[in-house]
Structure 1
Amino acid sequence: MDAKELLRCERSAIRLAIEAGAMMTAASGRNKEIAEKDSFADLVTETDKAVEKFLFNELKRLFPDFRFIGEETSSRVGLTADPTWIIDPIDGTMNFVHTFPCTCVSIGLTVNKVPVVGVIYSPFLDKLYTARKGSGAYCNGRPISVSKNCNSLSEALLLCEFGNQRDDEKKNAVFRNLEAVGWLVHGVRCMGSAALNLCSVADGSADAYWEFGLHVWDMAAGAVIVTEAGGVVMDTKGGPVDIMNRRILGACCDKIGHELSAALPIHLDLESD
């Protein structure tokens, strides 16, 4: 894909993300039609479905030859080398249900299985994060960069999540890892949105983030935003990230990423998407 087409993709994703954000704000409030998916903590609302349908319809009209993966309409899908839009219509649905503002629409584009465009819009925080491969990362049109003054885990603010799985294996892993790293760092925060966690690493307001149990739509856009902001994304074990493998570690630099990876005692091997 040439630079001109990549720019068209990014501009289209930005326009549609802003329109999707308006749909989210119009639906804000606790009177929602809510359904459970895999657990009582894994929710979907009518707005998730409406936003995804809107984005798919518009992107298919603009890019009819591309492939598509979305949270609410895709299951057990494989990622190919073809240009693929990857959409999370509302990342942080639990937050959306409770009117907690850390929620967003996430639109990523992969080519040859590599994220090349990322657009994440949080209408309630009024933050629009954008990046395309080789062109830097931005928030509301201004360049952003990862933190440059975090030299060790003892100076780091970390982000993580409990996730929506409620099985004993996940519970054990979450609490063992929190126990292992919680006292090594400045602090640990849980915001409830994988996409915004990655953006927080990208804009320097946090130094690293890890999570198990994610899906490709949680990570695709945020991964390119972090790397274009000068950070790194990797597997929690320290190797190259595979956005289909349901786990990710994002950090302000390679040193912090590998220190965090080494400090985590448990690395869950979950079934791939």
Structure 2
Amino acid sequence: MAEDDSLAQFLAVAVDAAKRAGEKIRKGFYQTKHVEHKGQVDLVTETDKACEDLIFNHLKQHFPEHKLFTGIRGKGAFLNGTPIRASSQTELVKSLLATEIGTKRDKITVDATTNRINSLLFKVRSLRMSGSCALNLCGIACGRIDIFYELGFGGPWDVAAGALIVQEAGGRVFDPSGRDFDITAQRVAASNPHLEDAFVEALRQAERD
């Protein structure tokens, strides 16, 4: 019951923040705007910035002890408003790996998962499981974790924000096979900028072992 109450509180605060931001957007819709360019065609107005500040401060006010990871394309990644960067580790054997077991418990999937982890454990320093794909990606972004992969997570909502935060923190997001990341494929890997190639090779070797 306590967990349900906490989730209900989180949702209520998030909805309230969205409504407040929506009202600010509505009031500013017909006002003259100062427009900045984030890229060749991507624009940002003072209303965008005001809404971002409103939501951030609203969440921080209600949950001051919670960590809030944010990222803006072309503007960087942040933890509670402080810029973050991926780690500088260059040796796979000294790296900290994160992964998740997933939700499937059929023998084929469980055997493949445990065999993959067993292979990787001989190539890294240690292993972590947070229980959250999004949180693991944020761990890459702030340098707490060096490499991460997960197969079979829920859907794009599990990785969309985290992938952007990793990229804005200077990290890499890719398919575990080494191909480009596909947000719809339910497969993701991430690393700091130095370990991508070595990590992909280790993942490929794990599939062969």
Alignment-mate amino acid for residue 217 of structure 1: W
Deviation at 1:164, TM superposition (A): 1.8
Q: Name the counterpart of 2:33.
A: none
> Could you say if the C-alpha distance between residues 194 and 124 of structure 1 is closer, same or farther in structure 2, counting changes exceeding 3 Å?
farther
Distance between the aligned counterparts of 1:52 and 1:234, measured in 2? 31
Query: In the alignment, is residue 62 of structure 1 matched against residue 26 of structure 2?
Result: no
1:117-266 to structure 2, matched below 5 A, reads 126-148=66-88, 150-214=89-153, 215-253=155-193, 255-264=194-203, 265-266=206-207
1:51-90 to structure 2, matched below 5 A, reads 62=22
Distance between the aligned counterparts of 1:57 and 1:175, measured in 2? 43
> Could you say if the C-alpha distance between residues 141 and 54 of structure 1 is closer, same or farther in structure 2, counting changes exceeding 3 Å?
closer
> Could you say if the C-alpha distance between residues 56 and 170 of structure 1 is closer, same or farther in structure 2, counting changes exceeding 3 Å?
farther
> Could you say if the C-alpha distance between residues 217 and 50 of structure 1 is closer, same or farther in structure 2, counting changes exceeding 3 Å?
farther
Q: Which runs of 4+ in 1 moved over 3 A?
A: 45-63, 121-125
> Could you say if the C-alpha distance between residues 58 and 126 of structure 1 is closer, same or farther in structure 2, counting changes exceeding 3 Å?
closer
For the residue of structure 1 that corresponds to 2:150, the secondary structure is strand
Alignment-mate amino acid for residue 191 of structure 1: S
For the residue of structure 2 that corresponds to 1:165, the secondary structure is coil
Deviation at 1:152, TM superposition (A): 2.0
Distance between the aligned counterparts of 1:223 and 1:173, measured in 2? 25
Alignment-mate amino acid for residue 157 of structure 2: W
> Could you say if the C-alpha distance between residues 145 and 171 of structure 1 is closer, same or farther in structure 2, counting changes exceeding 3 Å?
same
Q: TM-score, normalised by structure 2?
A: 0.69
- Structure number with the higher helix fraction is 2
Q: Name the counterpart of 1:110.
A: none
Q: Are the equivalent residues in 1 in contact too, given 2:76–2:83 (CA < 8 A)?
A: yes
Greater C-alpha Rg: 2
Deviation at 1:140, TM superposition (A): 0.7
1:90-105 to structure 2, matched below 5 A, reads none
Q: TM-score, normalised by structure 1?
A: 0.54
- Tell me the percent identity: 32
Distance between the aligned counterparts of 1:256 and 1:241, measured in 2? 16
Give the alignment's Cα RMSD to 1 decimal.
3.0
> Could you say if the C-alpha distance between residues 57 and 252 of structure 1 is closer, same or farther in structure 2, counting changes exceeding 3 Å?
same
